[in-house]
A and B are shown apart, each in its own frame.
Chain A
Amino acid sequence: MKKIIIIKTVFLLSVIFLFNSCKKDYGNLNNATVEDFLKNASPGDLNNLVSGTEAGMRNVIDLYLDDVGTIGREGYHFLTSEPRYVLDLLGASNGTLSSSNFYITNPWAARYRVIKNCNTLIQAATNSTLITDGQKKGYLGFAKTVKAYQLLLNLNLTDSNGIRIDVDNPDNLGPFVDNTEALTAIISLLDLAKTDLSTASVAFPIAGFTGSGTERFDDAAGLTKFNRALAARVAVYQQSWTGALSALNESFFGLNKDFNLGVYHVFGTGSGDQLNPMFIPQNQTGETRVAHPSYATDIAAGDDRINKATLRASPASLNGLTSNRDVWVYTSVTAPMPVIRNEELILVYAEANIQTNNLAEGVKALNIIRKGHQLTDYSGAMTKAALIDEMLNQRRFSLFFEGHRWIDMRRYGRLNQLPLDRAGDDVWTEFPLPVTEQ
């Protein structure tokens, strides 16, 4: 018996000894970790964060455009396997928007994920000793500009329910702020970014910022122009008309420049790249994105923007809704998607001028848009009210399925003018906050 005890004791001791020598931590075999990048990031690491940020801006962007485009009655997304696009978003019967459903939770999370990446980029650039001060300012300016833009997109969805601005510490998030305060915060973030960019040297690749010809947006000056273009958009949301005009002044805005000059989300077929998620070939069945029937009935004869809603071989219909035109804004898997472009800036210029009673300048800008789309000059009443109608009308067709109609109608208190297609349908003014935030 004694012998056995000794054997066992020796055995156990040797086992314990053996064991303590073989503890293992395999680390992360699949990805880099955030901690790796925060230590002392090289320019290469920081450039990766920049590209990741830009790539992430495209995530779930289709759902954002469907949310805004469906409620704004620009079109329908028919998907036989997903009733909620045509039930919840259009307020069918007694249904309401749910705080736990994909149409709010997914885009909301995608935008804040990019914001997290911007914050990581800011922190990594701040911690890095391997870059110059000018380079650091470049990363900071880029990160803050993108952050402001992402905040704006979420605010567009939740409107008076507001957004969180301070989200740097995941364990201690800042409060929700209302729409007015949020817009102020977004503008001041853009201003901070502008200051950073004023002393920055930018030498990192940003794929969708190459502009056209000599007008580039991937250097410090170009990024500043992009930043100001966004500031102009935010300013009109704030009804700060003079603010909008002065921001336009520093942006890439030009009455005679190409409508399509601007910054884009770009897509590719490379490994890990994304295809344009808004692209659906014409005449598809099963999944279609079709224009609201009023797009074709309301558009002026001869307007070339009718080509954004091409006639289908046979109509598409689902749950009592029918349309015979496909949305044809994104015409290939790699078609770029505008973040902001000159056509919008011209319309912002028109809006700010009309609102400041500079009607002639407003009409001049509107006529540039009209002329660009094969229409004759504006011939309606030269009143502020009539010109606002015309401006909103031009925005509707010029910025079709670029995420504006619903927001425009909301900020002018005209949501009740949007058409209802079925008895019991509703036009929502805003999305509820995602359930995780409540």
Chain B
Amino acid sequence: MLLKTVWLFLILLPGILLAQNKTLSGQVISANGTPVAGATISVKNSSITTIADADGRFSLSVPPNAVLTVSSTGLKTQTIKTGASITELQVRLDEDVARLDEIVVTGLSTTVKRRNLANAVATISSKQLNGTAPAQTFDAALEGKIPGAYINANSGAPGGGISVKLRGVTSVYGNSQPLYVVDGVFVDNSSTSAGLNVLTKALKTGSPTSNQDNPSSRIADLNAADIENIEILKGASAAAIYGSKASGGVIIITTKRGKAGKTKISVSQDLGTIKVRKLLGVRNFTEANLARDPAASPFLVQQFKDAAAAGAEIHDYEKEVYGNTGFSRNTILSLSGGNDKTTFNFSAAQKDESGIVKNTGYQNTAMRLNVDHKITENIKIGLSTNYINSSADRGLFGNENSGGVTTGVALSSTPGFVQLGADAGGNYPANPFAASNPLQNIALGRNNESVNRFITGVNLDISLQKNSHSNTKVIARGGVDFYNLQTNVLFPGILQSQATSKGTSIQGFTRSLNTNYILSLVNNFTPSDKFSLTTSAGITQETGDYNNLLNIATQLISGQSNVSQAGSLNATQLRTKYLNSGIFIQEEATIIDAVTLTAGVRFDRSSNNGDEGKYYTYPKAGISWNLTNMGLLKEGFFENIKLRAAYGQANNVPAYGSKFTSLAVSNITGFPGVIVDIQAGQADIKPERQTEFETGLDFSLFKGHLGFELTYYSKTIKDFLMLTNLQASSGYSTKWLNAGDLRNHGIELGMNARPIQSRNITWNTSVNFWMNRSKVTKLTIPSIPQGSFGYVLGSFQIQEGKSATQILGLNGTGVGVLGDAEPTFQMNTYNEITFFNKLSLRFLLHWKKGGQNVNLTSLQNDFGGTSVDYDNVSNKAGLPDGFYRITQVGVSAEEFVQTSTYLRLREIGLYYSFTSLPVKWVKSVRVGVSLNNYLTVTKYNSYDPEVSNFGTGFSTGVDVDPYPSSKRANFHVTFDF
């Protein structure tokens, strides 16, 4: 009872102190006079705060001579001295072109304004992410938008699958993908193989799964339309406080939350088409061409003659298979609103898209409810809940060793004069040129991934103590990411390729549960206007529990997919489990709003480490020094000149199971057996440690209309984790080792500008340039080719003193460096031009200069004798080019290591808003058209320069008959009520 009274007193206290307040009202407008809804108006050094309504109006009760700060996302914060007499005011907020007032998350529970930030933290707004030409999946929506990142789509298959590498390769075979955090929940981004290796035999070890199964990344499940903004911590100097999982960087996603006020309802509908981006073309078979072709057997010539004599139709199977026009529809309903105690944001979205290959496509249905509630003035709780159901039909593509079972490989050896179409009864003829009839595979085969997923996060904010100089809060954040993934692969017995297996059904069931929490205590101590200290300390814990069961049934009962309806059934199960825990302390000091010092340390341990009880220590420190705020330089031509430097360490824990030498199970006619696994255990495996230093200079010109951000970084990865190839005579092929050190360094230059601002036209633009170079500084094991397909076709190889992503191969005289997957540099520019506040043109241009791929798609077509330029003669030997290129196999791999430079108009959209409408209940209608991926300038000779047969791992850029990439055209309409 006593306690309750004390609480009550604490809550009422501010009210008592504010007894002599006056009421102040006003309106917040933007530079061109439109009201700014949702702007935050607060009284400095107090907890008084309010939010502007839809017309930008506000009113609040303030003490005399209060200093107001008025802020809104994307606009410059204004500080206003109210004086004694003013009771009505209009506040104009300029566009924050240089985004100096943006709040950036720097700690696990603390934030800082960009103007005081020690790191270059990239942010992507909702408009940039999803407002120009929406991509199919969330991961695809990131492409070209993050300066400092190398983002590469694995293929064009529906449902995504994209590799994001921030500031170079951060690991060799260890996880090099960033950590995704959605509203405080660490979200799983693993890829689960559907067991396609059973069909493709891409990996010849008999394993049902391989890293060539091209699964999607689970982050693709997120609905981009729900996202308010994204912050990207690119390396350890910014991300150290995230500890164990942060060495690949951290992508912090904040979803849209409700604002107090009238309930807003918005309905939007997209309709569009999806078409293949590029076709390679097919060979024109003629008798003369075949006569000149030494690889054409007399039998092939005969087949051609017979077909010609029979007047057979000549097909362009590439076009028939990839030339389908897919349709997309995407409906989003959102509701948001609330009162000063409770706000909510609800959205429901459904997307249904078909692919450029028949019977492929993507569906995603998602619901989100975000609720914020003030239990008392001092206790706030925020809930985020998200349910996702997604389904992707991805087809069977990529590398294989089954004689033409994947679509691309089957097409590569199939000449256009053979007849593959179904007869009237739906029966497909056997393809005499490959192990499968691709038309039959597409019509009757299935490769589906479907997911049911819940992501729920809680954010609890308790104010323990508050006075004019200090406030202390407990911030607890945590959440659960749970999904069930079902992979469903069915290749019925009627298929040509199923002559031996007589039908294959591969049913995979995956259950993944990830949890995390952060408990922290944060104290803000502001002894004076000129000095403030933010101290935070806390504990974190992350757990993961993954369980994958794969059932492979062959010898199916005709027409059945149920794995029990089979003559042969194989089951494999894979489980992984981890617990990471950490302790952190961070101190941030701000001196006269000009110097910000940050120092922190985190202690981490993980059950995946060799010594699971050992804490590893990861420090971080940063300084930003705003010369103009300091008064050292006068605000004149240059404004907000800021020097900054940051240092930090983060780690990447070993893969689960790295420490064990397992015995693999076997069966020989019913006798169970065990055989030593090909992977040797490493009992004292350590996490790899990344140390990053970054420094930069930021400044703006012309009253903030032009802002620059220049950054240099250098990060070293010590003890990098590598699945090394052992001397196979040891009986082991691989072993996880802390194999050496590598370094990445690079620069990032960014410019934000508003070149035109007039009453009728505004043009906002940002231009970024970034480049990275890596070098292996130490390698403790012998250097051998890794990934890809050996020197004959071009292979990655880690070598001391060389770039980590170099590509080696035969060069005619021996083995030499033929390329490097690392781009020379990348640039992007995002532009938005607004006319009359109504019409908006937005586009994103992305240029990747340099960097090589290993292109085996064109080799495959040459080998199959179907490449479009097969019969050209441009080589010295005077042979058909296709044949000549094949003769280079084993002599030189230069032909296959190809530069994958591209300039890509990734997104362009034109939108118009109608705001004065005949009916009152509709507030506004926006219509738009957009094109995604429509224009690419590249000399690269395959479907797309963005490709990765080996998924998101280390050996990116290997091109083996992927699902071709597509381009999207969409019509959009949104109604706001």
Point out residues on A near B: beta carbons under 8 Å.
1, 4, 7-8, 11-12, 15-16, 18-19, 22-26, 28-37, 47-56, 58-60, 63, 78-84, 87-88, 92-96, 98, 100-102, 105-106, 108-109, 112-117, 119-120, 163-164, 167, 170, 173, 205, 207-208, 266-275, 277, 279-281, 284-288, 314-315, 317-322, 333, 434-437
CA distance A277 to B204 in the complex (A): 11
- Beta-carbon contacts under 8 Å, B242-301 to A: 294-300
A170/B204 in contact, CB under 8 A: no
The answer to whether B403 touches A26, judged by C-beta atoms less than 8 angstroms apart, is no
Decide: A32 near B663, CB < 8 A? Known: A60-B204, A286-B435.
yes
Question: Which chain B residues lie closer than 8 Å to A7 at the CB level?
Answer: 464, 472, 521
CB pair A288–B667 under 8 Å, yes or no, is no
Are B890 and A81 in contact, CB atoms less than 8 angstroms apart?
A: no
CA gap between A63 and B731 in the complex, in Å: 18
Q: Which residues on the A side are within 8 Å of B583 (C-beta)?
A: 12, 15-16, 19
Tell me if A272 and B403 are in contact (CB < 8 A): no
Q: Which residue of B lies closest to A274 (CB)?
A: B206
Q: Is B497 an interface residue (CB 8 A)?
A: yes
Give the most central of B412, B569, B675, B859: most A CB within 10 Å. B675
CB-based contact B668/A268 at 8 Å: yes
Distance to closest chain A CB from B383 (angstroms): 25
CB of B574 closer than 8 Å to a CB of A: yes
Q: Mark B532-549, 1 if CB is under 8 A from A, else 0.
A: 000101110000000000
Q: Are A84 and B662 in contact (CB under 8 A)?
A: no
Contact status A37-B663, CB under 8 Å: yes
* B211 at interface by CB-CB < 8 Å: no
Instruction: Choose one: A82, A120, A284, A322; the contact of B298 (CB below 8 Å).
Output: A322
Residue contact A100 to B785, C-beta cutoff 8 Å: yes
A170 near B730 with CB under 8 A, answer: yes
B579–A116 CB distance below 8 A: no
**In-complex Cβ contact of A80 among B434, B499, B668, B727 (8 A):** B434
Beyond A24-B612, A26-B578, A116-B730, whether A100 also contacts B663 by CB under 8 A is no
In the complex, the answer to whether A30 meets B657 with C-beta atoms within 8 Å is yes
A-B pairs with lowest CB-CB distance, top 8: A95-B890, A116-B731, A286-B435, A287-B403, A51-B673, A286-B403, A52-B673, A317-B297
Assess the B667–A1 pair: CB atoms within 8 A: no
Interface assignment of B575: CB less than 8 Å from any CB of chain A? yes
Partner of A436, one of B496, B579, B676, B726: B726
Q: Is the interface of B mostly helix, strand, loop or mixed?
A: mixed
Chain B residues closer than 8 Å to A435, beta-carbon distance: 784-785
On whether the beta carbons of B667 and A34 are closer than 8 Å, the reply is: no
B728 touches A108 (CB 8 A): yes
Q: Quick one: which of B433-462 are within 8 Å of A by CB?
A: 433-436
| Interface hub of B499, B537, B730 (most chain A Cβ within 10 A) | B730
CA gap between A33 and B538 in the complex, in Å: 37
Q: Which of A55, A81, A320 contacts B295 (CB 8 A)?
A: A320
Which residues from A are CB-within-8-Å of B570? 271-273
| B889 and A270 within 8 A (CB) | no
Cβ-neighbour of A87 out of B523, B795, B890 (below 8 A): B890
User: Contact check: which of B523, B607, B731 meets A26 at CB < 8 Å?
Assistant: B607
Bound together, the chains give a CA A95 to CA B887 distance in angstroms of 8
Binary contact readout B403-429 vs A (1 if CB under 8 angstroms, 0 otherwise) = 111100110110000000000000000
Give residues 478-524 of B contacting A (CB, 8 Å). 496-497, 499-500, 519, 521, 523
Is there an interface contact between B662 and A33, defined as CB atoms closer than 8 Å? Answer: yes
Please give me the residue from chain A that is nearest to B573 by CB atom.
A30
Residues from chain A with Cβ under 8 Å of B607 in the complex = 23-26
Which chain B residues have a beta carbon within 8 Å of chain A's beta carbons?
204-206, 294-300, 399-406, 409-410, 412-413, 430-436, 464-465, 470, 472, 496-497, 499-500, 519, 521, 523, 525, 535, 537-539, 554-555, 567-571, 573-579, 581, 583, 585, 605, 607, 612-613, 657, 660-678, 680-681, 725-733, 782, 784-785, 789-792, 795, 859-860, 863-864, 886-891
Q: With A55-B675, A269-B568, A270-B568 as given contacts, are A25 and B612 in contact (CB-CB < 8 Å)?
A: yes
**Interface core residue of A78, A113, A205 (most chain B CB under 10 Å):** A113
The answer on a CB contact under 8 Å between A28 and B299 is no
Inter-chain contact A56/B575, CB cutoff 8 Å: no
> Which A residues are in CB contact (< 8 Å) with B795?
100
Give complex CA distance A50, B674 in Å.
8
Shortest Cβ distance from residue B840 to the other chain A in the assembled complex, whole angstroms: 48
Q: In the assembled complex, how far is the CB of residue A341 from the closest CB belonging to chain B, in whole angstroms?
A: 18
Q: Which listed residue (A25, A33, A108, A173) contacts B661, Cβ 8 A?
A: A33
Contact residues in B for A87 (Cβ distance below 8 Å):
886, 889-890
CA distance A382 to B780 in the complex (A): 63
Give the shortest distance, in Å, between A392 (CB) and chain B (any CB): 30
**Min CB–CB distance B243 → chain A (angstroms):** 13
Complex contacts, A48 vs chain B, CB 8 Å: 672-674
Please tell me which one of the listed residues B434, B465, B782, B792 contacts residue A286 in the complex, with CB atoms under 8 A apart.
B434
Chain B positions within 8 Å of A78 at CB level: 403
State A105–B203 Cα separation when bound (angstroms): 13
A272 to B436, alpha carbons, bound, how many Å?
26
How near does chain A come to B807, taking the closest CB pair, in angstroms?
13
Contact of B434 among A275, A281, A285 (CB under 8 A): A285
Q: Would B403 and A288 count as touching, CB distance under 8 A?
A: yes
21 A-B pairs with C-beta separation under 8 A: A22-B581, A31-B660, A33-B660, A48-B673, A49-B673, A51-B674, A54-B671, A55-B668, A56-B675, A81-B412, A94-B887, A98-B790, A98-B791, A100-B792, A113-B675, A119-B731, A170-B732, A285-B403, A285-B433, A315-B297, A319-B886
Say whether B410 contacts A101, CB under 8 Å. Answer: no
Q: How far is the CA of A208 from the CA of B669 in the complex (A)?
A: 9
A322 contacts across to B, CB distance below 8 A: 297-299
Which residue in chain B gives the minimum CB-CB distance to A36?
B663
User: Are B668 and A266 closer than 8 Å at their CB atoms?
Assistant: yes
Question: Which residues of the other chain, A, contact B670 by a CB distance below 8 angstroms?
Answer: 207, 268, 270, 273
Among B554, B666, B864, B886, point to the contact of A55 (Cβ < 8 A). B666
B497 touches A286 (CB 8 A): yes
Are A116 and B671 in contact, with the CB atoms below 8 A?
no
Please determine whether B430 and A112 come into contact, CB atoms closer than 8 angstroms: no
A60 to B678, CA, bound (A): 13
Is there an interface contact between A113 and B676, defined as CB atoms closer than 8 Å?
yes
Determine whether the beta carbon of B677 is less than 8 Å from that of A80: no
Given A53-B673, A79-B403, A113-B676: A285 and B431 interface contact (C-beta under 8 Å) = yes
Name, among A49, A100, A112, A321, the residue most crowded by chain B CB atoms within 10 Å (CB to CB).
Answer: A100
Instruction: Say whether A273 contacts B676, CB under 8 Å.
Output: no
CB neighbours of B605 from chain A (8 A):
23
Q: List chain B residues, Cβ under 8 A from A277.
A: 206
